[in-house]
Chain A
Amino acid sequence: NAGVTQTPKFQVLKTGQSMTLQCAQDMNHNSMYWYRQDPGMGLRLIYYSASEGTTDKGEVPNGYNVSRLNKREFSLRLESAAPSQTSVYFCASSEAPGQALGGYTFGSGTRLTVV
């Protein structure tokens, strides 16, 4: 099925460890996004990539880095995990910025716990 695929689905890290969350979309979308979701906080934008070769900071970028590997793939890296990064991470993609042409398509999420 067409859509956004995220890996892994679950992860437990120790404080200070690093890891990369992977995201791939097969809808030929130009733009991709990383959001985190915390209880009672809604979805907050970490980083986005407007198009292949570009990345920009969102609302909460500290402690994260991203790579737009190609048009399909957009990864999120935690260099030194902290308990405050315990969250559910969602990758999304869209054909156009904002909400045009059908909105964002989200992956199923990565549930990350940092102990």
Chain B
Amino acid sequence: GQSLEQPSEVTAVEGAIVQINCTYQTSGFYGLSWYQQHDGGAPTFLSYNALDGLEETGRFSSFLSRSDSYGYLLLQELQMKDSASYFCASWPGAGSYQLTFGKGTKLSVIP
């Protein structure tokens, strides 16, 4: 099976940087994704790491360390619109359709 742990809530100030961590325990692991979900909305895909290291997409970056079974999402220059829930999700690999999600981290951006 697969298990992913994330903090349930994080609060950060507008304009600052925030890091949302995700640790995983899986019987098979191929990569880690991140999704954003605003209240009442649908999850939207943000990023995917299959290899160790940092992937940057604008203000958002995602990091993976396979040796530590750990990843994080880094949000820079926080804006009020970044207030949302963020989910990490792991994939066991080729042949599997079982994308497993963490329980999500609710980010509140304050002025």
State whether the Cβ of A75 lies closer than 8 Å to any Cβ in chain B: no
Of B8, B35, B96, the contact of A103 (CB 8 Å cutoff): B35
Q: In whole Å, how far is B38's beta carbon from the nearest beta carbon of chain A?
A: 11
Q: In whole Å, how far is A104's beta carbon from the nearest beta carbon of chain B?
A: 6
On whether A103 and B33 interact (CB within 8 A), knowing A59-B98, A98-B93, the answer reads yes
Question: How many of chain A's residues touch chain B, expressed as a range?
Answer: 20 to 34
List residues of chain B with CB under 8 Å of any chain A CB. Answer: 8, 30-31, 33, 35, 41-45, 48, 50, 87, 89, 91-104
A-B interface contact total, Cβ < 8 Å: 69
Q: In whole Å, how far is A3's beta carbon from the nearest beta carbon of chain B?
A: 9
On whether A43 and B101 interact (CB within 8 A), knowing A103-B35, A107-B42, the answer reads yes
B30: chain A residues within 8 A (beta carbon): 98-99
Once bound together, how far apart are the Cα atoms of A97 and B31, in whole Å?
12
Q: Is the pair B89, A106 in contact by a Cβ cutoff of 8 Å? A: no
Once bound together, how far apart are the Cα atoms of A104 and B37, in whole Å?
13
Name 17 interchain pairs, CB-CB below 8 A, sorted by A.
Answer: A33-B99, A42-B104, A44-B101, A45-B99, A90-B42, A90-B43, A97-B94, A98-B30, A98-B93, A98-B97, A99-B30, A99-B48, A99-B89, A99-B99, A104-B35, A104-B45, A104-B99
